[in-house]
Amino acid sequence: MRVTLDNTNNPNEPSIALHPITKTIVAASNINNFYVESIGSNSFSKTISTSPLGVYGDPVLHYSDTTLYFAHLAKAPKKEYGAWFDRIVVQKIMDPYNWKEKSYSVGYNGNKMQDKPWLSSDNHSAEYNGNLYVTWTEFDKYGSDNQADRSRIRFSKYDLKSDSFSTAITISDTTGDCLDSDNTLEGATSAVGKNGEIYAVWAGYESIWIDKSSDGGVTWGKDQIIAFQPGGWDMDMPHIMRANGMPFIASDTVKDIQYVTWADEFNGNADVWLIYSKDQGNTWSERINVSKDTADGHQYFPNLTIDQKSGEVFIAFYDFSESPQSVFYKLAISKYVLGNDFQSSFLNQNPIPLPGKNVFYGDYLDIDAQDGEVVTVYTSNNVNNETSIEMSRISNHSICKEVINAKTAFNNIALLDEADSLSLWINTISPSKVSYKIKVKYQDKKVKLYKGSSLYEAKNQPEDNFIVSLKKPKKACILKIKIIVREKFCHKKQKYSVYKEM
């Protein structure tokens, strides 16, 4: 099942969670969008999330047993933008349908910025059952190039008995800069082992780091590098403002196996990787290429989850293997069982166009699994560079044993909004003719018209074909673009209309 959860006001950066008993879905996206599935209906209602501490993006949803928690950035009242990110907010959602909640302030530390939270919980160990854990990055001063301003990984835990969060502590032994790039410590996520051990991973200095606590988060060990990350987590990928390979960790609480996924440019292009530990994080396997792409296609934005009932690992990521110029992607999902090969499939048949480097597109997707059901939520885009939040719900048994045939791309058009130009592209395997007409209407009523056509031959694999580029007008104007794609043999015709104010 695939559902569009939202397509208004350009949502992005979604999170998702499955109720462990009813299997109903909750999801969220930037900045304060919240989606709730009605039990047994496959339909969703949308509400605007609120908190006395404000809601300003980076949403993270997590069920601790049957209690729903929602972490996000603050929008502290009576503070200006840049200053209002002064804490992490964690909400206990008692009733998502009528928005009954309790908000907790986590990690406030004066004027320092608190960013990118993630949640995990202990629902199984004898000593720490009911604890909720949150990790994030603290910036002395976000964006500062002063080497005295540093970033670090922070941690706090929620105790169910006292109904409160602990005073935040720093768990990273090193610090990073504050430039929000490869030498910034960022992307901290955590998972809980069989006996209640907490594992936290993050990225920085072209490395994947891990730390561990064996006493419920009171004390932590020495940071270890478990993998190198050539190119760093802040990946400079084509046609997208931000792309990252930040790590995610999940733990099989029955077999006591920890899994970590991330993306990097180890092979010269972006690939998604997986490693695992069978001895409580003391040693780790060699890196395994999840995407198994032997060409130059990029894969990034990985996330993973484990179905605790089966022990199966699921990894979702953006896959550009059918787009040689990295203009279009599909949402890939891979299933892994230790000792076996990956079973992979695409969740969308038509390729999704990127918006270009001038459009913010978010930093992550999300995935969850419960008792044989897998849900994934991700950002989609169209030729008008209007984003939507798409949700896919499948049975793990329906994931193909092999990557589906690459010859599945239907024609799709991208409008890339780059530094000083707009360019049109088509992704196709069909022999086709593309005609375009671009009308530029300025405020002073002057009009410029551009039109033309191109022929594209059949290919064995999907191909990215350039249509036309237009230098961005220096004066305010309205662009109206009409594109017609005629496929040669089936006489199929597709029409696209673009309206863009500049």
pLDDT digits over 293-341, tens only? 767 789 999 999 999 999 999 999 999 998 999 999 999 999 999 988 8
User: pLDDT at position 486, please?
Assistant: 87
Q: What residues pair up with 113 in beta bridges, in sequence order?
A: 139
What is the percentage of the chain residues whose pLDDT exceeds 70? 96
Indicate the pLDDT class of residue 350, thresholds 50, 70 and 90: confident
Please tell me the number of Cα atoms within 13 Å of 2 on its side-chain side: 12
pLDDT at 432: 85
Place of tokens 């699994």: 369
Q: Where are the alpha helices (DSSP H) in 325-394?
A: none
Prediction pTM value: 0.95
In 10 A of CB 321, how many CB atoms? Answer: 23
Q: Is the pLDDT of residue 375 over 80?
A: yes
What are the residues whose beta carbons fall under 8 Å from the beta carbon of 283, sequence distance 6 or more? 277
Torsion angle in degrees (nearest 10) through CA of 334, 337, 342, 343:
-60
* 221-268 tens-digit pLDDT: 999 999 999 999 999 999 999 999 999 999 999 999 999 999 999 999
Q: How far apart are CA 70 and CA 93, in angstroms?
A: 7
pLDDT, mean of residues 182-186: 98
pLDDT at position 405 over 50: no
What are the tens digits of pLDDT across the range 207-223? Answer: 999 999 999 999 999 99
Domain residue ranges of the chain, discontinuous segments joined by +: 412-501
The Cα 101–Cα 150 span in angstroms is 34
pLDDT of residue 431: 83
CA of residue 315 relative to chain centroid, distance: 12
Q: With a cut of 80, say whether residue 397 has pLDDT above it.
A: no
Contact 226, 244 (CB under 8 A): no
Report pLDDT for 160. 86
CB-based burial of residue 90 (10 Å sphere; 0-12 exposed, 13-18 middle, 19+ buried)?
A: buried
Task: Output the pLDDT for position 401.
Answer: 42
Which two tokens mark 46? 């949308």
pLDDT digits 0-9 by tens, 411-466: 689 999 998 999 999 998 878 889 999 999 998 888 999 999 989 887 777 889 99
Identity (one letter) of the amino acid at 61?
L
Strands 224-228 and 248-252, by their bridges, are unpaired
Residue 126 burial by CB count (10 A; 0-12/13-18/19+): exposed, middle or buried?
exposed
Note the pLDDT of residue 318.
97
Report the C-alpha gap between 332 and 321 in whole angstroms.
10
Per residue in 77-97, pLDDT (tens digit) is 889 998 999 999 999 999 999
Q: What is the residue type of 171? A: I
CATH of 412-501, one of 2.60.40.290, 2.60.40.10, 1.10.260.40, 3.40.50.620: 2.60.40.10
Q: How far apart are CA 368 and CA 384, in angstroms?
A: 30
Asked if residue 479 lies in contact with residue 499, where contact means CB atoms within 8 angstroms, the answer is yes
In the predicted structure, residue 205 carries a pLDDT above the cut 90 = yes
487 or 371: whose pLDDT is higher?
371
Joined together, the tokens standing for residue 273 give 């990787």
Q: In the chain, how long is the greatest CA-to-CA distance?
A: 74
- Which has the closest alpha carbon to 377: 20, 21, 33, 9? 33
- Rounded alpha-carbon distances, angstroms, from residue 8 to 331, 375, 387: 21, 22, 8
pLDDT at 406 over 50: no
Lookup result for tokens 């939202």: 6
